[in-house]
Amino acid sequence: MVVTQMLELREIFLGEWEGLNADEIAKRFPDEWAAWTREPTWDIVPGGEGAAPFEKRVETALEQLFERHPHGDAIVVTHGGVIQTALHHVVGRSSHRIFAFRI
Protein backbone atom coordinates (compact mmCIF):
# COMPACT_ATOMS: atom_id res chain seq x y z
CA MET A 1 0.00 0.00 0.00
CA VAL A 2 1.26 3.46 -0.93
CA VAL A 3 0.20 6.45 1.15
CA THR A 4 0.33 9.83 -0.57
CA GLN A 5 -0.53 13.10 1.10
CA MET A 6 -2.40 15.50 -1.18
CA LEU A 7 -2.37 18.98 0.31
CA GLU A 8 -4.98 19.97 -2.27
CA LEU A 9 -7.50 17.92 -0.26
CA ARG A 10 -7.05 19.90 2.96
CA GLU A 11 -10.09 21.68 4.35
CA ILE A 12 -10.93 25.19 3.20
CA PHE A 13 -8.96 28.03 4.80
CA LEU A 14 -11.38 30.03 6.94
CA GLY A 15 -9.33 33.20 7.24
CA GLU A 16 -10.27 35.25 10.30
CA TRP A 17 -12.76 32.55 11.36
CA GLU A 18 -10.03 29.90 11.59
CA GLY A 19 -10.04 28.21 14.99
CA LEU A 20 -13.18 30.00 16.24
CA ASN A 21 -16.43 28.37 17.28
CA ALA A 22 -19.85 29.65 16.12
CA ASP A 23 -20.40 31.82 19.22
CA GLU A 24 -17.01 33.49 18.80
CA ILE A 25 -17.63 34.13 15.11
CA ALA A 26 -21.07 35.61 15.80
CA LYS A 27 -19.62 37.93 18.43
CA ARG A 28 -16.60 39.12 16.41
CA PHE A 29 -18.22 39.17 12.95
CA PRO A 30 -21.96 39.80 13.50
CA ASP A 31 -22.77 40.99 9.96
CA GLU A 32 -20.91 38.18 8.24
CA TRP A 33 -22.33 35.59 10.63
CA ALA A 34 -25.88 36.86 10.04
CA ALA A 35 -25.31 36.56 6.29
CA TRP A 36 -23.83 33.06 6.77
CA THR A 37 -26.85 31.87 8.76
CA ARG A 38 -29.19 33.14 6.02
CA GLU A 39 -27.24 31.54 3.17
CA PRO A 40 -23.85 29.90 3.83
CA THR A 41 -21.15 30.67 1.30
CA TRP A 42 -17.38 30.51 1.72
CA ASP A 43 -17.14 33.95 0.10
CA ILE A 44 -18.56 35.59 3.25
CA VAL A 45 -15.62 34.52 5.42
CA PRO A 46 -13.25 37.49 5.95
CA GLY A 47 -9.78 36.69 4.64
CA GLY A 48 -10.86 33.16 3.73
CA GLU A 49 -9.95 31.11 0.70
CA GLY A 50 -13.27 31.66 -1.06
CA ALA A 51 -15.55 29.26 -2.89
CA ALA A 52 -14.07 29.35 -6.41
CA PRO A 53 -10.42 28.75 -5.40
CA PHE A 54 -11.48 26.00 -2.98
CA GLU A 55 -13.64 24.25 -5.57
CA LYS A 56 -10.90 24.49 -8.20
CA ARG A 57 -8.33 23.05 -5.79
CA VAL A 58 -10.56 20.08 -4.90
CA GLU A 59 -11.63 19.44 -8.49
CA THR A 60 -8.01 19.48 -9.70
CA ALA A 61 -7.05 16.99 -6.99
CA LEU A 62 -9.96 14.74 -7.96
CA GLU A 63 -8.93 14.77 -11.60
CA GLN A 64 -5.38 13.80 -10.55
CA LEU A 65 -6.78 10.92 -8.48
CA PHE A 66 -8.94 9.71 -11.38
CA GLU A 67 -5.92 9.79 -13.71
CA ARG A 68 -3.71 7.88 -11.23
CA HIS A 69 -6.41 5.35 -10.38
CA PRO A 70 -8.49 4.75 -13.51
CA HIS A 71 -10.05 1.62 -11.99
CA GLY A 72 -11.07 3.38 -8.77
CA ASP A 73 -8.69 1.55 -6.46
CA ALA A 74 -8.06 4.39 -4.00
CA ILE A 75 -9.09 5.45 -0.53
CA VAL A 76 -9.31 9.14 0.31
CA VAL A 77 -9.47 10.50 3.85
CA THR A 78 -10.38 14.19 4.11
CA HIS A 79 -12.81 16.70 5.64
CA GLY A 80 -16.51 17.50 5.23
CA GLY A 81 -16.10 20.61 3.07
CA VAL A 82 -13.85 18.75 0.66
CA ILE A 83 -16.27 15.81 0.57
CA GLN A 84 -19.21 18.15 -0.15
CA THR A 85 -17.30 19.82 -2.99
CA ALA A 86 -16.14 16.47 -4.39
CA LEU A 87 -19.68 15.07 -4.38
CA HIS A 88 -21.01 18.15 -6.17
CA HIS A 89 -18.25 17.79 -8.78
CA VAL A 90 -18.84 14.08 -9.34
CA VAL A 91 -22.61 14.47 -9.82
CA GLY A 92 -22.17 17.58 -11.96
CA ARG A 93 -23.95 20.06 -9.70
CA SER A 94 -22.99 23.53 -8.59
CA SER A 95 -21.66 23.56 -5.05
CA HIS A 96 -23.48 26.81 -4.23
CA ARG A 97 -25.37 25.00 -1.47
CA ILE A 98 -22.44 24.19 0.78
CA PHE A 99 -24.08 21.47 2.88
CA ALA A 100 -26.39 19.82 0.34
CA PHE A 101 -25.21 16.29 1.21
CA ARG A 102 -25.46 14.65 4.58
CA ILE A 103 -22.01 13.30 5.39
Of 75, 69, 70, 99, the C-alpha closest to 87 is 99
Average pLDDT across each block of 10 residues of the chain; the chain has 103 residues. List them in order. 88 96 98 94 94 92 90 87 87 71 76
Phi/psi-derived region of residue 60, left when phi > 0, alpha when psi is between -120 and 50, beta in every other case:
alpha
- Residue 93's pLDDT is 76
d(CA 89, CA 87): 5
Query: Count of H helices and E strands in the chain?
Result: 4, 0
